[in-house]
Chains A and B, each alone.
Chain A
Amino acid sequence: MTDFFTMASLVFVVGSGIRLATPFLLAGLGETIGQRSGVLNLGVDGVMLLGAFGAYWTILETGSPVAGVLVGLAVGLVMGIVYGVVTVTLRAQQGVSGIGIFLFGLGMSDLLFQKKVGTPLPIRGFADWHVPVLSDIPKVGEMFFQHSVLVYLAFLLVPVVAFLLNRTTFGLNVRAVGENPAAADSLGVSVARVRYTTILLANGLAGLAGAVLAIELGIFQQNLTNGQGFIAIALVYFGAWRPVGVMGGALLFGMVSATVLQWKTLGLVSGATSSLTAMAPAVLTIVALVVISRTVGQPAALTRPFDRGR
C-alpha cells in the first residue's frame, strides 16, 4: 500500500480522475440544462455513441481532431432536433422515447462502424496542452494543467452553464418552464421554444461528450460508452441539478475509478477481489448522497409534456 501513496502515484490518480470525469461532466451538464426545463433525456448514452462514432470516423478520414469534435457536436444537435420534435411537438412520453433514442444510437453506431470502418485503426487526438506558468508548478501542475484542451473546455463550461442558468433571462425562462410551464406560458414565454433550445444544448453536449470519449481513447468500438451516459444522468440527480454539483459528482466518480485502477496496476488488488473494488465508485456515490441526505426538489414539471389548454 505504500506504493500507492507515493507522490507519482497520487499525481497520476488525480490527473487520471480528472480525465475520466470529463465525458461524464459534459453529458451531465447537458442533461442538467435539459432537466431544469422539465425534459428528461434517457437517451444520452445513445447520443454519446453516435457522437463518438461521428468523431472517430471523421478523424479517421480527415485526420483532423477539430473536425471530429465539430462533427460530434453536430451529430448531437441533429439528435437534439429529433428529440425535440418527438417530445415537444409530438409530446410523446419522455422516458420511453429516451430509451428509444438510446437503442437507436446504440444500434446505429455499431451498424455504421461495422459497415463503414474496415480495420479499426487508432486515431490521434489533441496533444496535451501545458498551461503556461501554471503547468510548471511541481505536482499541482502535473495534476491539473497538463491535460488535453477538451478537458479544460469541459471544466470551463461549468461556470458558463451556471451563469447561463442563474443569471441570464434565458436561464430564468428555463427554470420557470421547468417549475411551472403553465405560468410561464401565461407570462408570454414560449415553452416550446425554451425546451427546444435546452434540448439542443443537452444533446449537443452529449454528442460532444461522445466525441471527447472517442478522441481520448483513440478508438471506437461497439457500445464504447458502456453505460457512461446513464451514469451521467444519475450524476445530475447527485448534483441536485446544479452544475457545480454535477462537476463534484463527476470528479468523485472519476477519482474513485482512477484510484481503483491504480491499485490494480500496482498489484495491490488482483483477481476476484478487484471486482469488489470496482464497485467502489458506485457504492461511494450512493453513500455520499445518503449522508448528504438531500431532498432537494427536482424541477416540478420534469417529464411532463406541456399542452397549452389542458
Chain B
Amino acid sequence: MYTRRNRKWLGLTAMLAVLAFVAGACGSDEEAADDGLFKIAVVAPSASNDLAFTQSIVDAVHALDGVDAIDITDGTFIVDDAAAAVRGYAKDGYDLVIAHGSQYGGSLQEIAGDFPDTAFAWGTSNDTFGLDNVSAYTAASDQGGYVMGAMAAAMTSSGVIGVIGPIAVGDAKLYVDGFVNGAAAQDPGVTVNVNYIESFSDVALAAEAAEGHIANGADILTGTAQMVVGATGVAAENGARWFGTQSNQTSLGEDMVVASQVYKWEKALQGIVNGVKNGDLGGNSHTINLENGGIVIEFNDGVDAGDARAIGEGLIADIKARMVDTGA
C-alpha cells in the first residue's frame, strides 16, 4: 500500500494541509463584537437581481431605517447551505437574520432555539413555530392576484389566460388562487389555465410552459417566482400581455407588462426591526397587503389597459375597504 503513487498523494496532501492551517492561523478570529451597530442578514435562494422573489427582499432591506449594516447571502438553493449561512450569521452576532424561502422553515425551527438572543424572520409564511424570537412574514398576494385577474379577464380578446407557477406553496399559491378567482369574478366565461412547473428555478421549463399556454390560445400571461423570466421572454415574442408580481417587472417589456404587484416587504420588516431594537425579538406573524401599503399595484403607463385599469383601481379601493373576499 505504501507505494510510490501513494507517496505522491501524501506529499500533495501534506503540502495542502500545511497551507491550509497556516492560512487559517493567519486569519483573524471573528468575534461576535457588540459594536452597537444594528446588523441585518438575508439568506435567499436565488440571485439578488432576479426581478422577482429575492429581488423583493433585497430591495426591502435597503429601504429600511435604523439599519447600519446589511449582509446578503443569495443563491443558496441548497437548503443545508442556507441553514449553515443562517447559523453563521447568528454566531457572528447579527441582530436580525432573515431566511427568505419557505423551504428554510424546518432548519430555522432548529437553529432559532440555539440562539435565543438573536431575532429571526422567516418568509413567506405565517408560522412562527411558537418561538418568541422568530417572526414570520407573508404577503396577501391573493389581493393583487385578484385585482390583476379581473383586469386580465377584462382585457383578453381570445378568452384564454395562462398562469405559470413554481410549486403550489406560500405566496405563489396565494397569488395564483387570487388571480383565478378574480378572473372568474370578472368574467366566468374566460378560461384560465394554470401550470405549476414544480420548480422554483427551471427557466427553460417556465418558457415551455408559456409556449404551451400561447399555443392553447392565451393572449395574456402571468406567473410568479424566480424562474418566471423564462415565461416573460416567450410572452414578449408572441405579443402577449404580462401581469407581474413580487417586483416591478416593467423593465422586462415596456410595451408588454400591464401592471405589477410589488411587494414592499419593508412595511413588515420595519415593524420587526423596531421591535427588535425595543427588545421584542419576535413571535408574531406579519402580512403585507394593499391596506397597509405593503403591496402596491404599479401600473405601466406604457400599456393602454383601457377599461381594465378603471376596474383594477376600483377593486384596489374595494379590497382596501375590506369589501371584497378574494376567496384564497
So, do A and B actually touch in the complex, CB under 8 Å?
yes
Interface residues of A (CB under 8 A from B): 8-9, 12, 15-16, 19-20, 114, 117-125, 213, 216-219, 221-226, 228, 257-258, 261-262, 264-267, 270-271, 274-275, 278
Please name the residue on chain B nearest to A215 by beta carbon.
B233
Pick the contact of A122: B47, B168, B193, B236 (CB < 8 A): B236
Q: Is B289 an interface residue (CB 8 A)?
A: no
Q: Is B85 an interface residue (CB 8 A)?
A: no
Please name the residue on chain A nearest to B234 by beta carbon.
A218
- Residues on A with C-beta less than 8 A from B232 are 122, 219
Can you list 19 A-B pairs, Cβ within 8 angstroms, ordered by A?
Answer: A16-B211, A20-B208, A118-B49, A119-B51, A122-B236, A125-B237, A217-B203, A218-B236, A219-B203, A219-B207, A224-B203, A257-B208, A261-B205, A265-B162, A265-B195, A265-B212, A267-B194, A274-B196, A274-B198
A119 touching B251 in the complex, CB below 8 Å, given contacts A217-B233, A218-B236, A219-B230 = yes
Docked complex: B162-214 residues within 8 A CB-CB of A: 162, 168, 193-198, 201-205, 207-209, 211-213
A12 touching B212 in the complex, CB below 8 Å, given contacts A218-B207, A224-B203, A265-B193 = yes
Give the total number of A-B pairs whose CB atoms are below 8 A apart. Answer: 102
A122 touching B252 in the complex, CB below 8 Å, given contacts A217-B204, A267-B193 = yes
- Residues on B with C-beta less than 8 A from A8 are 215-216
- Residues on B with C-beta less than 8 A from A15 are 215
- Residues on B with C-beta less than 8 A from A271 are 168, 196
Contact A121 B195 (CB under 8 A): no
Assembly CA distance A2 to B207 (angstroms): 25
Q: Is B75 an interface residue (CB 8 A)?
A: yes
Assembly CA distance A267 to B191 (angstroms): 12
- Residues on A with C-beta less than 8 A from B208 are 16, 20, 257-258, 261
Q: Whole-angstrom distance from the CB of A45 to the nearest CB of chain B?
A: 13
Contact B203 A264 (CB under 8 A): no
A221 touching B201 in the complex, CB below 8 Å, given contacts A16-B215, A123-B233 = yes
- Residues on A with C-beta less than 8 A from B209 are 261, 264-265
Interface residues of B (CB under 8 A from A): 47, 49-51, 75, 162, 168, 193-198, 201-205, 207-209, 211-213, 215-216, 227, 229-230, 232-234, 236-237, 251-253
Assembly CA distance A20 to B251 (angstroms): 27
Assembly CA distance A124 to B201 (angstroms): 21
Contact B75 A222 (CB under 8 A): yes
- Residues on A with C-beta less than 8 A from B204 are 213, 217, 224-226, 228
Please name the residue on chain B nearest to A221 by beta carbon.
B203
Contact B212 A122 (CB under 8 A): no
- Residues on A with C-beta less than 8 A from B201 are 221-223
- Residues on A with C-beta less than 8 A from B234 are 218
A12-B216, A124-B237 are known; give 7 further A-B pairs, CB within 8 A: A12-B212, A120-B51, A219-B230, A221-B201, A265-B195, A267-B193, A274-B198
Assembly CA distance A271 to B196 (angstroms): 7
Assembly CA distance A223 to B251 (angstroms): 23
Assembly CA distance A20 to B196 (angstroms): 19
Contact B195 A218 (CB under 8 A): no
Contact A218 B237 (CB under 8 A): yes
Assembly CA distance A218 to B207 (angstroms): 9
Contact B193 A266 (CB under 8 A): yes
Assembly CA distance A15 to B208 (angstroms): 12
Which has the most chain B C-beta neighbours within 10 Å: A117, A216, A217, A258? A217
Please name the residue on chain A nearest to B55 by beta carbon.
A119
- Residues on A with C-beta less than 8 A from B212 are 12, 16, 261-262, 264-265
Please name the residue on chain A nearest to B229 by beta carbon.
A219
Q: Whole-angstrom distance from the CB of B44 to the nearest CB of chain A?
A: 13
A270 touching B196 in the complex, CB below 8 Å, given contacts A122-B232, A224-B203 = yes
- Residues on A with C-beta less than 8 A from B211 are 16, 19
- Residues on B with C-beta less than 8 A from A274 are 196, 198
- Closest 4 A/B residue pairs (Cβ): A218-B233, A12-B215, A122-B233, A265-B212
Please name the residue on chain B nearest to A271 by beta carbon.
B168
- Residues on B with C-beta less than 8 A from A265 are 162, 193, 195, 209, 212-213, 216
Contact B233 A219 (CB under 8 A): yes
- Residues on B with C-beta less than 8 A from A218 are 207, 230, 233-234, 236-237
Pick the contact of B236: A19, A124, A224, A262 (CB < 8 A): A124
- Residues on B with C-beta less than 8 A from A217 are 203-204, 207, 230, 233
- Residues on B with C-beta less than 8 A from A216 are 207
Assembly CA distance A267 to B168 (angstroms): 14
- Residues on A with C-beta less than 8 A from B253 are 122
- Residues on A with C-beta less than 8 A from B51 are 119-120
- Residues on A with C-beta less than 8 A from B251 are 119, 121
Q: Whole-angstrom distance from the CB of A212 to the nearest CB of chain B?
A: 12
Assembly CA distance A140 to B253 (angstroms): 33
Pick the contact of A226: B168, B198, B202, B236 (CB < 8 A): B202
Please name the residue on chain A nearest to B46 by beta carbon.
A222
Please name the residue on chain B nearest to A122 by beta carbon.
B233
A278 touching B198 in the complex, CB below 8 Å, given contacts A8-B215, A16-B211, A122-B236 = yes
